[in-house]
Amino acid sequence: MAGLRMGEGILRRKPIEHIEETEAGEGPRLDRSLGLWQLTAIGVGGIIGAGIFTLAGTVANGTAGPAVLVSFLVAGVAGAAAALSYAEFAGLIPKAGSAYTYGYAGLGEFAGWFIGWGLLLEYTAIVAVVAIGISGYFSFLIEDMGAHLPAWMLGAPGTGSGHKVDLFAAVLCLLIAWLLNLGIRNAARFETVVVALKVLVVLVVIVVGVFHIDSAHYHPFFPYGVGGAFTGAATVFFAVFGYDAMSTAAEESKDAQRHMPKAIVYSLAIAMVLYVAACLVLTGMQKYQDIDKESGFATAFKSVGLSRLADVIAVGAIIGILTVMFTFMLGVTRVWFAMSRDGLLPRWFAKTHPTRHVPTRVTWIVGVASAVIAGFLPIAEAAELTNIGILLAFVVVCTAVIVLRYRQPDLPRSFRTPWMPFVPALGVVFSLWLITFLQWQTWVRFVVWFLIGCVIYFGYSYKRSVLARQERAAD
């Protein structure tokens, strides 16, 4: 009997029809101040950045060669199928939490917890990975200017002679936390301006780089085989799902039901066009073995005699990749806020600032945690903490949108995923397929994190969630 009740408990779902009413009196609230183009800028800011300025060079050099273009296209197809499912949920449930909230409402409490708990680790790790990538461009810029910084502050232990901490990466994480604590309105204005500058830099890279392409660099196109391109797709996948983190800000949108689905589609479409063009330029300017893994475009332009433009690109990369950190730190803090407001984590974390209406406590915790990861882990090890949880989140969201479409077909949807159930099913298949290309170390880390999460859920969250308290009150 107890087992039956527990089975029912982990399947309890947030009531979509009354989600606004059930949370209206819960206390902590967020400001609704973001418009369509601010949301789109946050999405573009999350998608374009590390993928172009850092991961494109890393994957081209050692995993896919010129077929890094295929890696981004494969990841983009999987991302697009999932994006359309996210768009339907974003219009249906305009609340903070994104995949966590969608999974909770569609498949039940444990599914929501499973995804939310995974995103807490992976979004934080993504912030750290991106900070390390920016630090690589910063080091390139400093050295190119003839300056020399102490070796101890230039990288994590084991990444170079005398390296003790990546100080610049760690400080960046704390700066982004400070920026988010200024309030979503001010932070979003900064994000919009910086995204515009970043897109301008990418366009300059593409337009100028086209004139320095050597078609011989594209041969062989698959130097590591087709499998290398697919392995690369799994690696670059987190570079195409910034819309996932952006959708966590639904509760801070002025008209989330109309604007959020559009912002998801717009941001992914803009990003994929720029990704494809940038990959063609990068692998055409340099032979894939010569592409720098940390500052690919800057070194590529320097190799063709455009040193001053290389410096501009390095500055643009530093500024532009900041927006990725912004988007994913925004995402993890809103997921944490939503889980705490729902009672799955202590409600102390859901406390918002009295005037700026942002979850200050969790923002600083995430800022410090990402700073520690960025400062003391090499980029490869930090990157291994990402991807698998996001891919599983895509599986849950794509599955949940199918389940809800058939379970509650009459819910008021401002956006409907086309070609149901083919498109979300494609998202499930692609995501599961990409998971098989991840390294076993990634699985080990994820399983350990998941087991820790199970202990917390069954020891704390299962009995203390808002829905559990409502059930006991009804009994």
DSSP for 368-416, please give it.
Answer: HHHHHHHHHS-HHHHHTTSSHHHHHHHHHHHHHHHHHHHHSTTS--SS-
DSSP for 281-338, please give it.
Answer: HHHHHS-GGGS-SSSHHHHHHHHTT-HHHHHHHHHHHHHHHHHHHHHHHHHHHHHHHH
Q: What is the pLDDT of residue 24?
A: 45
30-76 residue pLDDT tens:
778 888 888 888 888 888 876 677 678 888 988 899 999 999 888 88
pLDDT of 156 higher than 60: yes
Angle between helices 109-144 and 99-106 (to 10 degrees): 170
Report how far residue 350's alpha carbon sits from residue 454's, in angstroms, rounded to the nearest whole number.
Answer: 21
421: preceding bond cis by omega (within 30 degrees): yes
Task: Provide, rounded to the nearest whole percent, the portion of the chain with pLDDT above 70.
Answer: 91
Task: Provide, rounded to the nearest whole percent, the portion of the chain with pLDDT above 90.
Answer: 27
Report, as an integer, the average pLDDT of 155-164. Answer: 73
Q: How confident is the model at residue 185 (pLDDT cuts 50, 70, 90)?
A: confident
Report how far residue 57's alpha carbon sits from residue 410's, in angstroms, rounded to the nearest whole number.
Answer: 47
Q: Is 385 exposed, middle or buried (0-12, 13-18, 19+ CB in 10 A)?
A: buried
Q: What is the pLDDT of residue 4?
A: 44
What's the chain's Rg over C-alpha atoms? 22
Greater confidence, 163 or 218?
218
Q: Nearest 5°: phi and psi at 437?
A: -90, -5
* DSSP reduced 3-state for 13: coil
Report how far residue 243's alpha carbon sits from residue 15's, in angstroms, rounded to the nearest whole number.
Answer: 24
CB of 420 closer than 8 Å to CB of 87: no
Report, as an integer, the average pLDDT of 382-404. Answer: 83
Lowest mean pLDDT among 1-5, 193-197, 347-351, 394-398: 1-5
